[in-house]
Structure 1
């Protein structure tokens, strides 16, 4: 286990070295129009001196912006999951549910989050609510699809056990459907949280106020490419942490190989 962890860390450090090397090369080719890793690191250290300062609505530290975004992401993600999991179970458990709901999924799934934003503003009269709305509506589809697949692939033997023991609907759901479909549900949730984290940047660029997306846009207006690169790296790092966290949950609840 220790050896495996050491190898994983070594590969990660090697990957980061390649990324920094390519970044430095691009900076040289563009004659520093794209800031170098060194200059970006300098700005990063400056931002970390006081990451949680608050000097007004549009002047907050990068820490405040980041945690505001994370809060919106999880709110939208949880709302989407509350809709997605029951919807996926209904689609996977009955042919009627699949026939009725699958066309809706296929029509709405490709719609860009930017197209939903005006409807969110109209419905909630608030840019923050609109951002949470577009996160919820665009991130729920992977969970719907994976949940439906997990439920629909339950072996007939499992279903027969429920019938043989006279399981009630609730007992069948909690003893057979959810345990079997849980690894697929977590796969969907893992994909959905990734989409939610991508969408937040676009949403906050449109909504303004506070958030990591707004920080990127504000940095562009202030002509600070170093700050933009810092934000990009932080967005990528948080996305990696979220993915690893949901991957750990997926492995924890997976019955495969146990």
Structure 2
């Protein structure tokens, strides 16, 4: 015999009401605990004075140390090296009119900097037009890599100024010879960094391109160029820094208008104040070029490359 137990709906409702009455005191007792939760507090952080201090103080102390050493050297040389104060006064006079013209060899510091930058731009631009495509080819094809690697290894350690007499012999002029020197010293960083970037492209990307039967042009534009861009921009940054270093020495030897020639001309006039001012100008312009290219390279660099 099978027995079954049936519950009446009225009984079930009565049991539910009884359960609610039993649970009600618990709920009322728990209510004050909810009110004990503290209200939302404003946790907005204050200004980071310590971070600002650590960002400002080290550079300031470095400049103070430079001025102190400079002053001691000036005192030790009995005035042969001008003091920082005398140099600052001279700089105020020079930069009050940086673009004056009083003859072919007597121009303001602004014209000299612009002339040097123009030579750097021409030599560097030609090096980029040749070096970047050459780097792609060397990195892409193993045969070209084996063919050009010995030549690059042989020519890259040669001092850029060693190429200056060749430029004077071939181009018969100081200005094209200086541009040639910039070209030959700027091309190697771009070739090497671009080739390394191409060689470090993941092989999986090339396998996918082979499966999709992509043309060589699409492989370069769609796969290689986006991956190689951070390496290429690093080569460009190194090339510009080298070019700015070399142009000063090249202009000292070739003459004409330029920041290097201005340094040499002031030395012939025994104007040490202007030489020191020119040193600071060269450093500031080089720093600005370096900073601008670092920002450009950071903007086009993938996060995994940055880290």
TM-score under structure 1 normalisation?
A: 0.94
1:171-250 matched pairs, under 5 angstroms:
171-250=218-297
Alignment partner, residue 16 of structure 1: 63
- Post-superposition shift, 1:25? 2.5
- Post-superposition shift, 1:8? 4.3
SS in 2 for 1:56: coil
SS in 2 for 1:223: coil
Alignment partner, residue 123 of structure 2: 76
Alignment partner, residue 94 of structure 1: 141
Change (3 A) 1:7 1:164: farther
SS in 2 for 1:136: helix
Equivalent of residue 56 in structure 1, options 98, 103, 121: 103
Change (3 A) 1:97 1:2: farther
- Post-superposition shift, 1:7? 5.2
1:91-170 matched pairs, under 5 angstroms:
91-170=138-217
Task: Give the root-mean-square deviation of aligned CA atoms.
Answer: 1.9
- Post-superposition shift, 1:56? 1.3
- Post-superposition shift, 1:15? 2.9
Alignment partner, residue 31 of structure 1: 78
How many residue pairs were aligned? 258
Change (3 A) 1:97 1:62: same
More relative contact order in 1 or in 2 (CA 8 Å, sep 6+)?
1
TM-score under structure 2 normalisation?
A: 0.79
- Post-superposition shift, 1:9? 4.9
Alignment partner, residue 27 of structure 2: none
SS in 2 for 1:44: helix
* Structure 1 unmatched runs, 5+: none
Alignment partner, residue 47 of structure 1: 94
1:31-78 Cα distance to aligned partner (Å, 9 max, x none): 322222111111111111221111111111111111111111111111
